[in-house]
Amino acid sequence: MKEIERKFLVASNAWRAGARGTRYRQGYLSISKICVVRVRTMGRRAALTIKGASKGMTRDEYEYAVPLKDANEMLDRLCGERIVDKTRYEIRFKGHTWEVDVFHGRHRGLVIAEIELKSEAERFEKPAWLGREVTGQRRYDNSALAS
């Protein structure tokens, strides 16, 4: 499966009206130039995800549900310090769903919005609360934040 995603910093809290979030805890089992392997808990759900290297805004992505107990054990036993803690909010705007991540812990204060697209050329309207685009800037990848 292909993931096509664009990322932006968030410039204001205008998106927060009525938003409800889910706490995410994700850790990295492997980080290399070829791919990353991540385990993530999302409330009462969990998944193991393998993401290939980005080519432009596109990369291969494979995600599989795993038992929550197993995911928590992998996070606690195998990820070491390579963990990101955040709350994710889904915001509908002009026919698209934006995922707004509010980071906790050592990344407190960082807020990033992502939109997944069907193609790199797909057009979309940007909400007024978006800031600067950071697509392709490695330092804003969750795997980099976890390192």
pLDDT for the residue 68: 98
Give φ, ψ of 58 to 5 degrees. Answer: -115, 145
pLDDT for the residue 147: 85
pTM: 0.93
Classify the phi-psi angles of 78: left when phi > 0, otherwise alpha if psi is within -120 to 50, otherwise beta: alpha
Instruction: For residue range 65-117, list pLDDT tens digits in order.
Output: 999 999 999 999 999 999 999 999 999 999 999 999 999 999 999 999 999 99
- Determine the Cα–Cα distance for residues 2 and 32; give it in Å rounded to an integer: 19
Closest-CA residue to 10 (of 94, 95, 134) = 134
pLDDT for the residue 69: 98
- Domain spans of the chain? 2-146
Write down the CATH number for the domain with range 2-146: 2.40.320.10
List active site positions: 28
- Alpha carbon 44 to its chain's center: 17
pLDDT for the residue 123: 95
* Percent of the chain clearing pLDDT 90 (strictly above): 91
Instruction: For residue range 50-64, list pLDDT tens digits in order.
Output: 999 988 889 999 999
